[in-house]
Amino acid sequence: MGPARATVLAELAPAPPAPLRVNPQSTTVPPLRSGPGEAPAIEGRPANDAPSIDAAPLGTAPLRTADSDPQRQAVLQELHRLERTAESARPVGSTVPSAQAAWLLGLIYLHGAGVRHDPAQALQWFEQAARFGREPWAYAGLAWCHIEGCVGPANPAAAQRAIAQLRTRHPARADYLAWLLADRQVQAQVARPGAAAPDAQQDARTAAQAALLRKAAAAGDLHARLELGLQAAAQDRPDQADTFFRQIEARSPAAAANRRQLQERGRTPGHDSADAQAAGDASAAAALAQAHRYHRGEGVPANFVEAIRFYRLAEQRGSAEAHRMLALIYSRPAPGGGVDVAWMQQLARADASSSIPTFGSPVAAHALQREPTPLVDLLPPFWRRQLGALGE
What mean pLDDT is predicted for residues 80-98?
A: 96
Residues in the chain: 392
pTM for the model: 0.64
Gap between the terminal Cα atoms of the chain: 25
pLDDT at 199: 53
- Name which of 158-167, 195-204, 286-295 the model is least confident about: 195-204
Provide mean pLDDT across the span 333-344: 77
Q: Are 90 and 356 spatial neighbours (Cβ–Cβ below 8 Å)?
A: no
CA distance linking residue 155 with residue 247, whole number of Å? 33
Greater pLDDT, 69 or 59 = 69
* Coil/strand/helix, residue 199: coil
Name, of 17-26, 31-40, 63-72, 350-359, the range with top average pLDDT: 350-359
Q: 248 pLDDT band (50/70/90 cuts)? A: very high
What integer is the mean pLDDT of 216-231?
95
Query: What is the rounded CA–CA span in Å between residue 5 and residue 203?
Result: 50
CA distance 1 to 70: 27
Report the helix count and the strand count for the chain, using DSSP H and E.
Answer: 17, 2
Residues 6+ apart with CB under 8 A from 24: 65, 66, 67, 72, 76
Contact yes or no for 121/93 (Cβ under 8 A): no
E-strand stretches of the chain: 350-351, 358-359
Cα separation, 9 vs 21, whole angstroms: 13
Confidence (pLDDT) at 163: 98
Question: Residue 2 pLDDT > 50, yes or no?
Answer: no
pLDDT tens for residues 132-156? Answer: 999 999 999 999 999 999 998 899 9
